[in-house]
């Protein structure tokens, strides 16, 4: 059975969410952030030397990186038409967005998170961070357009991956000016599987 090494209030939430969407059988092994530093506990280092979450364990294999985990779970647990196959003409649009979520779009939000620790000391960086956040959310708003979901207008792995960017946008107080993205995040959060993942994995405050 698939095991998920799950850190509370982290990117790992979306892995549980996907597993719930697919009605997969799995086991959650829980880890708690340090109350003072908010960092992952050292026990995660025993699972994988990077000491981060999520980590997927299955048949003696460990897989890291959210997008690789999401792809693995879809390949193992989803019905045939849930994700594109390599011979589909729009396959690379999917692959591009799967990489884009953590490879580019989340970057200015992480910079903002670190800049917050520095307070006023980071103010010369703020214009660049703000413009990059607008740049990425603007792009995603155009990709979504009037569709219901990002890819093929149906719920997919891309939604799971990009949800974290929308949550970060909500937390930053800028998502509201992209009404289609704001509505989409509300729709994600209203899905039964999303709620079930919170029930199982614990409170998820990012974006609320």
Q: Taking the complex as a whole, how short is the minimal distance between the CB of residue 130 and its own copies, in angstroms?
A: 14
- Nearest 5°: phi and psi at 69? -65, -45
Beta-carbon count within 10 A of 31 CB:
19
41 binds its own copies (CB under 8 A): no
Give the Å distances, CA to CA, from 72 to 63, 133, 171.
Answer: 9, 29, 29
Binding residue for its own copies, selected from 32, 46, 88, 92, defined by CB under 8 A: 92
135 is a site residue for its own copies (CB under 8 A): yes
> Residue 138, interface with its own copies (CB under 8 A)?
yes
110 binds its own copies (CB under 8 A): yes
Handedness of CA 161, 38, 32, 186 (dihedral sign): negative
Residue 135 dihedral angles phi and psi, to the nearest 5°: -60, -50
Torsion, CA 42, CA 196, CA 98, CA 45, rounded to 10: 10
Considering beta carbons, is residue 125 or 171 the nearer one to its own copies?
Answer: 125
Count residues binding its own copies (CB under 8 A): 39
Least distance from its own copies to the Cβ atom of residue 103, Å: 4
- Residues 16 and 201 sit within 8 Å (Cβ to Cβ): yes
Nearer to its own copies, 103 or 153 (CB): 103
The answer to whether 125 contacts its own copies (rule: CB under 8 A) is yes
Residue 88 within binding range of its own copies, rule CB under 8 A:
no
Distance of CA 159 to the CA centre of its chain: 8
| Residue 36 makes contact with its own copies by CB under 8 A | no
Residue identified by tokens 């079930």 is 196
Is residue 81 part of the contact set for its own copies (CB under 8 A)?
Answer: no
Q: Rule CB under 8 A: which of 51-70 touch its own copies? A: 51-52, 61, 63-68
Residue 54 preceded by cis peptide, ω within 30: yes
Token pair belonging to 78? 């989803």
Residue ranges binding its own copies (CB under 8 A): 49-52, 61, 63-68, 71-72, 75, 86, 92, 95-96, 98-100, 102-104, 107, 110-111, 114, 117-118, 121-122, 124-125, 135-136, 138-139, 142
């Amino acid at each position: 059975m698939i095991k998920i090494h799950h850190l509370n209030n982290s990117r790992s939430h979306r892995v549980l969410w996907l597993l719930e969407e697919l009605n997969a059988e799995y086991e959650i092994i829980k880890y708690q952030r340090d109350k003072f530093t908010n960092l992952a506990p050292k026990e995660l280092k025993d699972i994988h030397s990077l000491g981060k979450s999520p980590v997927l364990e299955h048949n003696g294999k460990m897989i890291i990186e959210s997008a690789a985990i999401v792809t693995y779970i879809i390949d193992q647990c989803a019905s045939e038409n849930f994700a594109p196959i390599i011979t589909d003409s729009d396959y690379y649009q999917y692959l591009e967005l799967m990489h884009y979520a953590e490879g580019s779009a989340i970057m200015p939000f992480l910079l903002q998170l670190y800049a917050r620790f520095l307070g006023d000391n980071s103010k010369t960086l703020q214009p660049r961070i703000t413009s990059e956040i607008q740049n990425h959310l603007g792009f995603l708003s155009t990709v979504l357009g009037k569709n219901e979901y990002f890819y093929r207008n149906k719920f997919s792995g891309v939604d799971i991956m990009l949800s974290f960017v929308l949550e970060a946008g909500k937390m930053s107080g800028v998502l509201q000016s992209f009404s289609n993205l704001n509505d989409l995040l509300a729709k994600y959060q209203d899905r039964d599987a999303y709620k079930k993942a919170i029930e199982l994995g614990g409170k998820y405050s990012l974006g609320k």
